Amino acid sequence: MGIVVQKYGGSSVADAAGIKRVAQRIVNTKKAGHQVVVVVSAMGDTTDDLIDLANEVSPLPPARELDMLLTAGERMSMAVLAMAIHDLGHEARSFTGSQAGVITDAEHGKAKIIDVTPGRIQTAIDEGAIAIVAGFQGVSQTTKDITTLGRGGSDTTAVALAVALRADVCEIYSDVDGIFTADPRIEPRARKVPRISYEETLEMAAQGAKILHLRCVEYARRYDMPIHVRSSFSEKEGTWVVKSADVAGVAQEGANTMEAAIITGVAHDRSQAKITVVGVPDKPGEAAAIFRAVAEAQINIDMIVQNVSAAATSLTDISFTLPAGEGQTAMTALSRLQETVGFDSLQYDDSVGKVSVVGAGMSSSPGISARFFEALSEAGVNIEMISTSEIRVSVVVAETQVEAAVNAAHAAFDLGSDEIEAVVYGGTGR
């Protein structure tokens, strides 16, 4: 009898009907012979509503108090979920992050987990109860104040608890069936991936696929905790995120056995913007000055491209991408440099998108970039920037061409299926 940790997101517990549905799933897992620990997010839009309430009172609320406020959200969902389970005839006990032993540093709003001491959770499940734990929150080791882990913190709570409890698996539930070869909303032939490695998942997430948060996948990889990504609205098997060695060569239960795919999926991200610094003197230290200014403004930059300088002028252009939300800050920081660095002008473009192909098989298969770029060319997509890693190739294109680029890449690497329904509903057959 193993321990299963299940995490349900806000969309799964948005209202009373959702909570009852989730309660039934949890009870089914318990009846199947598992000890069950559930991590739950705040209901639906609760967190956003609480942030709105804070902003009504204070334009810049103190972080300690914002954490105190936001943690009310999970407190509500976990208590109500425990009630719904109780109503199905099973004992459930809810625990705050602090009660569950989620110990963090004191960085309010983005606290990191330092330790997990789940003594009360272990006692609860050993006594036959289902334990419900508030996601996204913990308690500071030094100040004893309540902290939040930031967005994606509930997934991380679930994985961290699973590791500390030596669970068999951490199941992450949302409203999608698993991880797909591309976003099914823009690529109708997208196929659910039965297994994927931690590394590929990290690349997919980093490149904009809204599946799992980077932190939680990194945590799972460090401790080799299998994650099962699945939908709370269906009984279908989802996607297993496991270590690379467990991906290749495993016959996928209930799914067609496949050759190891070179490309696992196509990710896209419309949230980026591009800044070009035009006419930078091509001498040592200029680029460093530019990126130091951006770093000091706490901007996370992603791709960087520097043109070969024009021989006649010894001037070059430097372009980089960053989250569009941080564009204004970066432009302000750079403007201050214009005189000292002596560049000509700044250009800002938030009508860009990034499309990436990701796959662990890429490193041993030459020609992936070429095939990708040819496909984009045939589809009439113009490439503005390129960036690569061991298991990924990314391009920046005009935002209007993102969809065409995803479709072209998906087709070029044979990621789709002709039998859409057979594949999508062909999980474990449960």
Phi-psi region of 71 (alpha: psi -120 to 50; beta: other; left: phi over 0): alpha
By CB under 8 A, is residue 347 in contact with a second copy? no
DSSP letter, residue 180? B
By CB under 8 A, is residue 87 in contact with a second copy? yes
Tell me the three state secondary structure of residue 275. Answer: strand
Three-class secondary structure assignment of 387-418: EEECCEEEEEEEHHHHHHHHHHHHHHCCCCCC
Among 66, 277, 362, 391, binds a second copy (CB under 8 A): 66
Residue 135 tokens, joined: 């996601």
- Please report how close the Cβ of residue 25 comes to a second copy at its closest, in angstroms: 15
By CB under 8 A, is residue 68 in contact with a second copy? yes
By CB under 8 A, is residue 111 in contact with a second copy? no
Between residues 85 and 164, which has the closer beta carbon with respect to a second copy? 85
- Please report how close the Cβ of residue 234 comes to a second copy at its closest, in angstroms: 22
Judged by CB under 8 A, which stretch of 62-70, 157-165, 231-239, 417-425 contacts a second copy? 62-70
The kind and range of the H/E element at 80 are: helix 63-87
Q: Site residues for a second copy, window 128-187 (CB under 8 A)?
A: 144
Residues 153 and 131: their CA atoms lie apart, in Å, by 18
Among 14, 51, 79, 304, binds a second copy (CB under 8 A): 79
Among 1, 33, 59, 311, binds a second copy (CB under 8 A): 59
Asked whether 102 and 148 are in contact (CB, 8 A), the reply is no
Residues 232 and 90: their CA atoms lie apart, in Å, by 20
Residues 331 and 348: their CA atoms lie apart, in Å, by 8
> Could you tell me which of 207, 187, 215, 202 has the C-alpha nearest to residue 241?
202
- Please report how close the Cβ of residue 157 comes to a second copy at its closest, in angstroms: 17
Among 4, 26, 37, 78, binds a second copy (CB under 8 A): 78
By CB under 8 A, is residue 57 in contact with a second copy? yes
By CB under 8 A, is residue 83 in contact with a second copy? yes
By CB under 8 A, is residue 35 in contact with a second copy? no
- Cα 352–353–354 angle (5° rounding)? 135
Judged by CB under 8 A, which stretch of 49-57, 173-181, 278-286, 421-429 contacts a second copy? 49-57
Residues 311 and 167: their CA atoms lie apart, in Å, by 62
Provide the binding-site residues for a second copy, judged by CB under 8 A.
16, 19-20, 50, 53-54, 56-59, 61-62, 64-66, 68-69, 71-73, 75-76, 78-80, 82-84, 86-87, 92-94, 99, 120, 144
